[in-house]
Structure 1
Amino acid sequence: MSLSTEEKQLYAGFIHNVYNGAVHADADDITPEVADICDKLATAIAQCSQKMVWPEAMFREFYGRPFLSLRAVLKALKKLAQSSVKKWIETVATDRRYRICMATAALNWRSALEMELMGI
């Protein structure tokens, strides 16, 4: 499976936003294996935070149907996908109630993600 440049940029931005720059990834670093780990990380964040109350309308876009992968979000939202995912991560990161979901998922997937980015 080959990733488009747009998909690679989405995943690189996702990594930057989740790890606040502590894990470096450029679009050129994104492989299908890295994308799969990012999908698992995003799903872990979504599953944790979905159990909480979601007053923000933006989250309805994600939870109106099953969360499959960032690629599925990209196809569904096309040009808005990158900004929507970024806003979603920013909201999760800045809201005290949801931050624990992102921190836990980021911690659980960091080693696997960094090893895959290094090609190990």
Structure 2
Amino acid sequence: MTTQRELQSRWWEESGRLRWELRGRLDALSAGGARAELADAVLPGRGAVVLDLTGLDFLDSAGLAVLVQVLRRGQADGVPVRMAMPVAADAARVLDLTQFDQVFDRALPGDVPGGLPGDLSEGGGA
């Protein structure tokens, strides 16, 4: 039996960056809520938007569409968008196969508390 996790979302500002942490599943069931949160977010005036997907387990085409909206919104508001890749292999594979990992700038080590997975300079895992 597989338990499907819902999407958990949290926004906060830290060191001039607006961070959006998404955990769980970004799919057809949760994408509408994520789009509504993005619509309410104030991006202008931020140094960057950090899309923290390190806790994302799964995403589908509806989830990818939300990521495109984040990128377009950042471009329209003149705010760079950086992405921290998912740790979960399935979610990371979707981003790799669709080349979304090439479209977004990668998050910097200081963008994610504890550093990025695989980064030893900020205390991240390897």
Sort the TM-score into its range (normalised by shorter chain).
under 0.3
* Higher share of residues assigned strand: 2
**Whose relative contact order is higher, 1 or 2, with alpha carbons under 8 Å and at least 6 apart?**
1
Larger proportion of helix: 1
TM-score computed with the length of structure 1 as normaliser:
0.25
TM-score normalized by the length of structure 2: 0.24
